[in-house]
């Protein structure tokens, strides 16, 4: 089952915003084209109209953010994903696709130019072509799609090695944290921890690196055998509910949301498990990542799906305090907690949830 995924950097919640200015000189982009600048993870979105290939956008940035720039709308629009801090950064491109972008301004701009050149290497160019091939054939030609996927997977280790080498040559650059988050995305927290420790302090004093370190710390705090971190949030009636209230029971902490299609598809399996084991010292505590203002949708989903257990949320979407605490980067996600408060298992789906409960409650 597919999950709703979110890049690791999206859950940053550090430092105040400060003024950031992006100046652009984009050749080949028609006058009147709207240029859109948004901070990855939400919170800021600005735009400007291009005139004579030029534009200026003033926005707000943290001590280190990842931003998304898009020239126009639709599939033909050029786009960039890049690192920016408070201050002034200039971006230039000779192509309306923005695939030859260069940067100037602060010291880290030179590192971004180096990273952009890395993206033009034959290996990465080949991987982009394979990605396009997969996008074009995944619905129409299984043979071509599988061939492109296999070829792409065979190059993955080379791709990782290329970016790891770049980081090893830029250990003092904040852009290295961006590369770790967006290009390497280590799922193994020991590998991520080792990579972070290889960086110098100047490379880690930014929101991206701090979020990565939080992922390492949260992974260790929520490892199997650890006492589940305590939390309190309000239920649908506004009453506080604490995890410690469930001590003495087996409890499944279930992270979900009314808008999450994979979560809603998984809910029948959770309902089945709850009905089978609710009289055997088992319950569920739902933690919703619903959006601000969507309390009615949250409650409706609870009733529509028959989720007759305790539910809490602060209605802050991916900024939900409990999801940040547990470093939830995709949903559905869950943790099975024992009567002593220790984590027994994680991310149990369908029959796996039923089998785990049958084992511990036999």
Cα–Cα distance for residue pair 234/313, rounded to 1 Å: 6
Q: Residue 199 pLDDT > 90, yes or no?
A: yes
Structure tokens at 292: 């601000």
Q: Report the pLDDT value the prediction gives residue 46, as an integer from 0 to 100.
A: 86
User: According to DSSP H, which parts of 174-283 are helical?
Assistant: 175-179, 189-197, 201-204, 207-221, 261-277
- pLDDT at 155 > cutoff 60: yes
Contacts of residue 257, Cβ cutoff 8 Å, sequence gap at least 6: 4, 263, 288, 289, 290, 298, 331
> Could you give the C-alpha distances from 177 to 36, 102, 266, 289, 311, in angstroms and in order?
24, 19, 34, 27, 36
Answer yes or no: is pLDDT of 47 > 60: yes
pLDDT-derived band at 273, boundaries 50, 70, 90: very high
Residue 67 pairs in a beta bridge with 39, 82
For the domain spanning 232-360, the CATH number is 3.40.30.10
> Measured between alpha carbons, how far is 164 from 179 in angstroms, rounded to an integer?
9
Q: What would the mean pLDDT of 253-272 be, rounded to a whole number?
A: 97
Q: Among 167, 15, 11, which residue's Cα sits nearest to residue 86?
A: 15
In CATH terms, are 18-104 and 232-360 the same topology?
Answer: no
3-state secondary structure of 312: strand
User: CB burial class (10 A; 0-12, 13-18, 19+) of residue 188?
Assistant: exposed
Checking if the pLDDT of 294 tops 60, the result is yes
- In the chain, how long is the greatest CA-to-CA distance? 73
> Mean per-residue pLDDT for 3-25?
58
Residue 63, pLDDT score: 65
The sign of the CA dihedral 31, 33, 38, 43 is: positive
Q: What mean pLDDT do residues 272-295 have?
A: 96
Task: Give the pLDDT score at 14.
Answer: 36
Using CA atoms, how far apart are residues 116 and 184, in angstroms rounded to an integer? Answer: 16
Helix or strand run (H / E) with residue 233: strand 232-234
> Are 273 and 260 a contacting pair, CB within 8 Å?
no
| Fold for the domain defined by 18-104 | Immunoglobulin-like (2.60.40)
Q: Are the C-beta atoms of 81 and 40 separated by less than 8 Å?
A: yes
CA end-to-end distance (rounded Å), the chain: 28
Mean pLDDT, the chain, rounded, equals 90
Length of the chain: 362
Is pLDDT at 191 greater than 90 in this prediction?
yes
What residue segments make up the domains of the chain, in order of their start? Answer: 18-104, 123-221, 232-360
The answer to whether 82 and 99 have CB atoms below 8 angstroms apart is no
Candidates 179, 302, 143; CA nearest to 237 is 302
The residues with which 334 forms a beta bridge, in sequence order, are 254
Answer yes or no: pTM beyond 0.85: no
In percent, the amount of the chain with pLDDT more than 90 equals 72
In tens, the pLDDT along 139-148 reads: 899 999 999 9
8: confidence class by pLDDT, cuts 50, 70, 90? very low
Cis peptide preceding 184, ω within 30 of 0: no
The DSSP call for residue 30 is P
In this structure, what token pair is assigned to residue 61? 């940035």
Which sign does the torsion angle of CA 187, 193, 198, 202 carry? Answer: positive
Better-predicted residue by pLDDT, 252 or 119: 252
Task: Output the pLDDT for position 42.
Answer: 62
């Amino acid at each position: 089952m597919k999950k709703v995924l979110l890049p690791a950097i999206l859950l940053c919640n550090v430092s105040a915003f400060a003024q950031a200015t992006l100046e652009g000189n984009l050749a080949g982009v028609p006058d009147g084209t709207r240029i859109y600048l948004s901070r990855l993870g939400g919170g800021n979105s600005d735009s400007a109209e291009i005139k004579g290939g030029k534009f200026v956008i003033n926005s707000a940035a943290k001590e280190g953010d990842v931003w998304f720039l898009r020239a126009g709308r639709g599939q033909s629009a050029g786009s960039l994903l890049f690192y920016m801090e408070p201050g002034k950064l200039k971006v230039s491109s000779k192509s309306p696709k923005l695939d030859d972008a260069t940067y100037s301004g602060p010291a880290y701009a030179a590192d971004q130019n180096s990273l952009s050149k890395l993206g033009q290497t034959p290996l990465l160019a080949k991987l982009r072509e394979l990605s396009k091939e997969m996008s074009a054939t995944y619905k129409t030609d299984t043979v071509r799609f599988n061939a492109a996927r296999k070829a792409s997977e065979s190059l993955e280790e080379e791709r990782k090695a290329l970016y790891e080498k770049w980081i090893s040559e830029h250990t003092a650059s904040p852009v290295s944290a961006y590369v770790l988050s967006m290009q390497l995305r280590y799922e193994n927290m020991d590998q991520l921890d080792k990579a972070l420790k290889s960086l110098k302090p100047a490379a880690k004093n930014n929101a991206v690196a701090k979020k990565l370190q939080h992922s390492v710390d949260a992974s260790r705090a929520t490892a199997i055998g650890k006492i589940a971190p305590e939390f309190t949030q309000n239920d649908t009636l506004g009453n506080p509910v604490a995890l410690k209230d469930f001590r003495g029971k087996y409890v499944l902490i279930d992270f979900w949301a009314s808008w999450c299609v994979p979560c809603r598809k998984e809910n029948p399996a959770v309902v089945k498990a709850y009905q089978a084991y609710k009289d055997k010292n088992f319950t569920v505590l739902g933690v919703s990542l619903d959006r601000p203002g969507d309390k009615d949708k949250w409650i409706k989903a609870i009733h529509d799906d028959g989720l007759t257990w305790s539910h809490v949320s602060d209605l802050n979407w991916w900024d939900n305090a409990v999801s940040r605490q547990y470093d939830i980067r995709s949903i559905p996600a869950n943790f099975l907690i024992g009567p002593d408060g220790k984590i027994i298992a994680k991310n149990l789906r369908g029959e796996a949830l039923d089998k785990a409960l049958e084992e511990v409650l036999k």
